[in-house]
């Protein structure tokens, strides 16, 4: 008997240790990851904060290698490109998500579409850039905002489609049945009841997609190209903040290097503040409807 | 077939007068989930302006039966029926599905308010129906009054429906179903999540609304069936074992299985 109880104690101690070890390892993993992220942020702030001032935000770039000047065309260009990408990506992505969740069921076609979407989420973004380069840039013989926005929009489609399908599936079946039971046709149930119930999730998916494309560089090199001046037309080359960072970081001048860090800092905070604001605004509306 | 025995149809009655007497006639209804047969040859006639209750143990097919009557089963992949279901003499399978569901209201086991305000929960069905904008708020008030909910919510119509208590939500769902003036109201264990007070309010309500529509209710609660219904059907393993007026059913059941069930020997 004493043997048995001793064995029990040993295994209990071992299990306790194993538990603690498990928690400890996940804690360490978290610390390492957060540490890496915060040191990137800290480094960015340290290197870039000096470049940021009012002129940096509202001016055009100065002449090559000279001090001063700003990245206003890149900021404006980024907003325009993201806007175009949303016009392309949101309706198509949400449409695909609704189709897969509400209409398609488990047909072979739908499952094929799901596989394709999951694949495209992982496809390197330069592929979309090459695609748009060959179907739009080359035929029209010009880089343009439209081409850049289109490439970013195509990148958004699978991301938004996937998140939309996922959050729509979380809406309880009972809401759909209740809507159908009062004689609402399926499309009205989808748009009046299911989509509003999943609104916060759909918006979060949209934010994720926007945040993702706002930081894209590769596809833009092949489509938007970049520009030193304010955009004057959607059918001409346009600048974007990551293109500006790329140009300045690779350049030979210290001023440029500092401005590259400054631009990177603005991009990081822009995405952070943007997603925070959208998240807060959707949370408020959810709280109200409760 | 015991079902045929209890069928009180007289053979010399003309089809037209039969249709007048019975709101709903179900003939030889079989229901399949894929290869599994969930209902076997159900035949039933439900009288107009009466409450017909269905009792039976869990999984006996009573909810499945109810869900075929507004064709809600068509939302379940792999579900299939054969047999006849006539509403006022016309097959429900020949009717436009949305239009059918406006004449056949349904209230579910768990209250299912839409993620909208109390007012909008009722108004939504009216808008779907294309009711004139100006009369919507009157109709909302009327429906809430019919569901005995108006006094409790009239000062907070714009509040979210999910702020209501479980019993209130269920009455809201009944009001929502009543708003579009259904001829037939299906209730699938409407009180199973409610306390005794909420339950008795709903039961009182059923007795009031049967003045204007025909009611079919599925319940686990035999006392409830005895209290509210005029006719009762007993389901077991997908078969309708007995169907009779409620009083006879509970006092002198003709089937041994029914007797065992209502005296609590199983189920």
Given a contact cutoff of 8 angstroms between Cβ atoms, the answer to whether A165 and A100 are in contact is: yes
Min CA distance, B114 vs chain A (Å)?
A: 7
Q: Is beta strand B184-188 parallel, antiparallel or unpaired with respect to B239-245?
A: unpaired
Contact assessment for residue A238 and residue A231, using Cβ atoms and an 8 Å cutoff: yes
pLDDT higher than 50, residue A48:
yes
Q: Give a yes or no: residue A289 inside a domain.
A: no
Check residue B55 and give its pLDDT. 93
- Complex-level ipTM: 0.85
Cβ <8 Å between A183 and B124: no
Cα B206 to chain centroid distance, Å, stands at 11
The answer to whether B75 contacts A179, with C-beta atoms less than 8 Å apart, is no
Shortest distance, CA A289 to any CA of chain B (angstroms) = 6
8 A C-beta contact, residue A183 and residue B98: yes
* pLDDT above 50 for A288: no
Interchain CB distance below 8 Å, B115 and A185? no
- Residue A198's domain is classified under what CATH number? 1.10.3720.10
**pLDDT 10s digits, A224-246:** 999 999 999 999 999 999 999 99
Which residues in chain B have their CB less than 8 angstroms from residue A107's CB? none
Alpha-carbon distance B152 to nearest alpha carbon in chain A (angstroms) = 18
* Cβ atoms within 10 Å, residue A180: 23
Strand partners, A52: none
Contact predicate B54/B88, CB 8 Å:
no
> B124 and A192 in contact by Cβ < 8 A?
yes
Cα of A284 to nearest chain B Cα, Å: 14
List CB contacts (< 8 A) between B176 and chain A.
Answer: 182
Nearest to A175 among B106, B114, B128 (CB): B114
In this complex, the residue of B98, B116, B177 whose CB is nearest that of residue A184 is B98
Does the pLDDT value for residue A164 go beyond 90?
yes
pLDDT at B119: 96
Chosen from A101, A178, A198 to mutate, greatest number of chain B CBs within 10 A? A178
d(CA A139, CA A219): 17
Closest CA to A238 of A126, A127, A82: A82
Q: Measured between CB atoms, does A284 come within 8 Å of chain B?
A: no
Confidence of residue B25 (pLDDT cuts 50, 70, 90): very high
Torsion of CA B112, B116, B119, B122, to 10 degrees: -40
The angle that helices A2-48 and A254-289 make with each other, rounded to 10 degrees, is 120
Average pLDDT over residues B156-185: 91
Mean pLDDT of B127-154: 91
In this predicted model, which residue has the larger pLDDT, B202 or A88? A88
Closest Cα in chain B, distance from residue A87 (Å)? 28
Q: How far is A290 from chain B (nearest CA, A)?
A: 6
Contact A290 B160 (CB under 8 A): yes
State residue A283's pLDDT score.
67
- For the residues of A64-77, what is the DSSP string, one character each? TT-S-B--HHHHHH
pLDDT of residue B17: 61
Residue B224 to chain A, least CA–CA distance (Å): 24
Across the interface, of A175, A184, A192, the residue whose CB is closest to B112 is A175
Q: Which residue has the higher pLDDT, A99 or B12?
A: A99
Q: Is B125 helix (H, G, I), strand (E, B) or coil?
A: helix
Architecture field, domain B2-112+184-262: 3-Layer(aba) Sandwich (3.40)
The answer to whether position A118 is within a domain reads: yes
pLDDT digits (tens, 9 = 90+) for B195-228: 888 888 889 989 989 998 999 999 988 889 999 9
The range of the structural domain enclosing residue A196 comes to 76-239
Decide if B124 and A177 are in contact by the 8 Å CB cutoff.
no
Q: B185 or A271: whose pLDDT is higher?
A: B185
Long-range CB contact pairs, A60-66, < 8 A, 24+: A60/A228, A60/A229, A60/A230, A61/A228, A61/A244, A64/A253, A65/A252, A65/A253, A65/A255, A65/A256, A66/A255
Cα B234 to its chain centre, rounded Å, is: 15
Q: Is A110 a domain residue?
A: yes
The minimum CA-CA distance between A162 and chain B, rounded to whole Å, is 23
Q: What is the pLDDT of residue B3?
A: 46
Is residue A84 included in any domain, yes or no? yes
Share of chain B above pLDDT 90, in %: 64
**Residue in B132, B198, B141 with CA at minimum distance from that of residue B171:** B198
- In total, how many domains does chain A have? 1
pLDDT at A200 (0 to 100): 86
Tell me the chain B residues in contact with residue A187 when contact means C-beta distances shorter than 8 Å. Answer: none
Strand B22-33 and strand B79-87: the pairing is antiparallel
**Neighboring chain B residues of A196 at a CB cutoff of 8 Å:** 115-116
pLDDT of residue A1: 47
Asked if the C-beta of A196 comes within 8 angstroms of chain B's C-beta atoms, the answer is: yes
Give the DSSP letter of residue A147.
H
For residue range B42-81, what is the model confidence (pLDDT) as tens digits? 999 999 999 999 999 988 999 999 999 999 999 888 899 9
Judged by CB atoms closer than 8 Å, whether chains meet at A183 and B160 is answered as: no
Residue B67 is predicted with a pLDDT of: 94
Q: What is the model's pLDDT at position A7?
A: 56
Any B CB within 8 A of A178 CB? yes
A180–B163 CB contact, under 8 Å? no
CB contact under 8 A, A178 and B112: yes
Residue A77 at interface with chain B, using a CB cutoff of 8 Å: no
Q: Provide residues of B within 8 Å CB-CB of chain A.
A: 70, 72, 75, 77, 98-102, 105-106, 108, 110, 112, 114-116, 124-125, 128-129, 160, 162-163, 173, 176-177, 180
Mean pLDDT, residues B128-141 taken together: 91
Neighbouring C-beta atoms of residue A6, cutoff 10 Å: 10
Which one-letter DSSP state was computed for residue B156? Answer: G
In a domain, A69, yes or no: no
Helix (H) or strand (E) holding B172: helix B166-179
Q: Which of B70, B108, B116 faces A174 most closely, judged by CB atoms?
A: B108
* Chain A CB contacts of B173 below 8 Å: 178
Q: pLDDT for B97-121, tens place per residue? A: 999 999 999 999 888 899 899 999 9
Residue A130 falls inside a structural domain: yes
Contact indicator for A182, B105 with CB cutoff of 8 Å: yes
Is A208 buried (19+), middle (13-18) or exposed (0-12) by CB count in 10 A? Answer: middle
Q: Spell out which residues of chain B touch residue A180, defining contact as CB-CB under 8 Å.
A: 72, 75, 101
Q: What is the mean pLDDT of residues A126-138?
A: 95
């Amino acid at each position: 008997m004493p043997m048995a109880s001793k064995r029990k104690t040993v295994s209990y101690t071992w299990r306790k240790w194993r538990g603690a070890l498990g928690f400890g390892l996940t804690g360490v993993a978290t610390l390492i990851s957060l540490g890496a992220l915060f040191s990137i942020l800290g480094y960015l702030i340290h290197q870039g904060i000096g470049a940021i001032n009012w002129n940096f935000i509202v001016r055009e770039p100065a002449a090559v290698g000279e001090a001063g000047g700003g990245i206003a065309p890149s900021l404006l260009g980024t907003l325009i490109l993201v806007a175009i990408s949303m016009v392309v990506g949101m309706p198509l992505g949400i449409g695909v998500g609704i189709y897969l969740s509400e209409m398609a069921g488990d047909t072979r076609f739908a499952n094929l579409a799901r596989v394709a979407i999951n694949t495209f989420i992982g496809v390197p973004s330069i592929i979309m850039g090459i695609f748009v380069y060959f179907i739009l840039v080359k035929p029209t013989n010009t880089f343009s905002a439209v081409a850049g926005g289109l490439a970013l929009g195509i990148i958004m489609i699978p991301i938004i489609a996937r998140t939309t399908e996922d959050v729509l599936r979380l809406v309880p079946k009972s809401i759909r049945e209740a809507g159908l039971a009062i004689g609402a046709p399926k499309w009205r149930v989808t748009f009046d009841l299911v989509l509003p119930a999943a609104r916060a999730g759909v918006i979060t998916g949209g934010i994720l997609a926007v945040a993702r494309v706002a930081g894209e560089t590769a596809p833009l090199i092949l489509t938007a190209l970049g520009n030193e001046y304010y955009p004057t037309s959607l059918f001409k080359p346009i600048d974007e903040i990551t293109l500006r960072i790329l140009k300045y970081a690779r350049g030979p001048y210290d001023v440029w290097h500092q401005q590259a860090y400054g631009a990177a800092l603005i991009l990081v905070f822009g995405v952070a503040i943007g997603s925070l604001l959208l998240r807060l605004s959707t949370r408020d509306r959810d709280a109200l409807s409760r | 077939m015991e079902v045929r025995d209890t069928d009180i149809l007289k053979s010399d009655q003309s089809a037209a007068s039969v249709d007048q007497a019975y709101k709903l006639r179900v003939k030889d209804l079989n229901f399949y989930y894929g290869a599994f047969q969930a209902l076997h040859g159900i035949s039933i006639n439900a009288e107009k302006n009466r409450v017909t209750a269905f009792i039976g143990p869990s999984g006996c097919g009573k909810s499945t039966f109810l869900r075929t009557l507004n064709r809600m089963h068509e939302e379940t992949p792999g579900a299939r029926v054969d047999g006849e279901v006539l509403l006022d003499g016309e097959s429900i399978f020949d009717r436009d599905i949305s239009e059918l569901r406006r004449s056949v209201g349904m209230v579910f086991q768990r209250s299912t308010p839409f993620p909208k305000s109390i007012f909008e929960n009722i108004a939504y069905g009216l808008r779907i129906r294309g009711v004139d904008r100006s009369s919507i708020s009157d109709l909302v008030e009327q429906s809430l009054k019919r569901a005995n909910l108006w006094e409790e919510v009239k000062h907070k119509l714009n509040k979210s429906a999910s702020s209501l208590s479980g019993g209130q939500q269920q009455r809201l769902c009944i009001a929502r179903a009543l708003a579009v003036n259904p001829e037939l109201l299906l209730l699938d264990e409407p009180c199973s999540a409610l306390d005794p007070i909420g339950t008795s309010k709903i039961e009182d309500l059923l007795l009031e609304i049967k003045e204007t529509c025909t009611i079919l209710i599925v319940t686990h609660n035999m006392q409830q069936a005895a209290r509210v219904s005029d006719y009762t059907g007993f389901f077991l393993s997908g078969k309708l074992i007995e169907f009779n007026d409620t009083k006879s059913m509970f006092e002198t059941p003709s089937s041994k299985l029914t007797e065992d069930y209502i005296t609590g020997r199983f189920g």
